[in-house]
C-alpha cells in the first residue's frame, strides 16, 4: 500500500486592498456584478468575472430556477459565455464573489464540485491555467494559481481514451 497526500497552496490576502491593481479591479467588478444574479429562492447571489489572455472581460452570474436542479452556477455560465463570445481564447483569471442576503458575505468561497470539473476541463481544452480570485463582498481574498488544484484526481478526456 502507498499513501498519497494532496496539498493545495494558495495566497490569502486580508482584504481587496492588498491585491495588485488588476486583481483588485477584477474582484471589484465581480462584487458589483453579484447584483445581476438571479437567486430569489436561495438569496445567494454569485458572480464570476474573467479576464481573458487577450484582455477581454467576460461575466456570468448564477441563474436559479423554481425547479432547483435546473439552476446554473455563475462559473459555468461564465465559461459558456467565454467559449461563445471568444472561441479559442484562454481565460487568464476569474474573480468569484457572492452576496448572501440571508447572512454574512465576508468569507471567501470556492466553486462547487460541478464547477470545479468544468473549470478543469476548460483549462485542459485551452492548455492554459486559470487563476482564481475567491472572495465575498468583503473580508479575506484567496488566490489560487490553477483551477485544477481544487480538484485532484479530476475525471478528464484522458480517462476516456
**pLDDT tens for each residue of 27-65:** 999 999 999 999 999 999 999 999 999 999 999 999 999
pLDDT at res. 69: 86
Q: Give the mean pLDDT of 73-81.
A: 98
Please report which confidence band the pLDDT of residue 11 belongs to, taking 50, 70 and 90 as the band edges.
very high
Which residues touch 137 (CB under 8 Å, ≥6 apart)?
31, 34, 97, 98, 99, 105, 106
Q: Give the mean pLDDT of 147-156.
A: 92
CATH number (3.40.720.10, 3.40.50.720, 3.40.140.10, 3.40.50.2000) of 11-151 reads 3.40.140.10
- Gap between the Cα atoms of 72 and 28, Å rounded: 22
The domain locations on the chain are 11-151
pLDDT at res. 132: 98
Please report which confidence band the pLDDT of residue 19 belongs to, taking 50, 70 and 90 as the band edges.
very high
- Gap between the Cα atoms of 49 and 27, Å rounded: 8
pLDDT at res. 157: 83
61 — phi, psi (to 5°)?
A: -135, 160
**pLDDT tens for each residue of 90-102:** 999 999 999 999 9
Residues designated catalytic: 75
Which is it for strands 44-52 and 141-144: parallel, antiparallel or unpaired?
unpaired
- Gap between the Cα atoms of 30 and 132, Å rounded: 12
pLDDT at res. 106: 97
Amino acid at each position: 500500500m502507498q499513501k498519497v497526500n494532496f496539498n493545495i497552496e494558495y495566497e490569502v490576502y486580508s482584504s481587496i486592498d492588498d491585491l495588485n491593481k488588476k486583481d483588485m479591479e477584477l474582484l471589484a467588478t465581480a462584487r458589483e456584478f453579484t447584483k445581476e444574479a438571479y437567486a430569489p429562492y436561495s438569496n445567494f447571489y454569485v458572480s464570476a468575472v474573467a479576464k481573458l489572455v487577450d484582455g477581454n472581460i467576460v461575466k456570468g452570474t448564477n441563474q436559479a430556477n423554481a425547479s432547483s436542479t435546473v439552476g446554473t452556477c455563475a462559473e459555468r455560465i461564465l465559461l459558456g459565455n467565454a467559449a461563445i463570445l471568444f472561441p479559442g481564447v484562454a481565460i487568464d483569471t476569474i474573480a468569484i464573489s457572492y452576496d448572501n442576503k440571508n447572512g454574512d458575505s465576508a468569507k471567501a468561497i470556492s466553486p462547487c464540485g460541478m464547477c470545479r470539473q468544468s473549470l478543469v476541463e476548460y483549462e485542459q481544452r485551452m492548455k492554459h491555467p486559470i487563476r482564481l480570485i475567491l472572495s465575498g463582498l468583503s473580508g479575506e481574498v484567496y488566490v489560487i494559481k490553477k483551477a485544477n488544484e481544487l480538484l485532484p484526481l479530476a475525471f478528464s478526456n484522458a480517462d476516456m481514451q
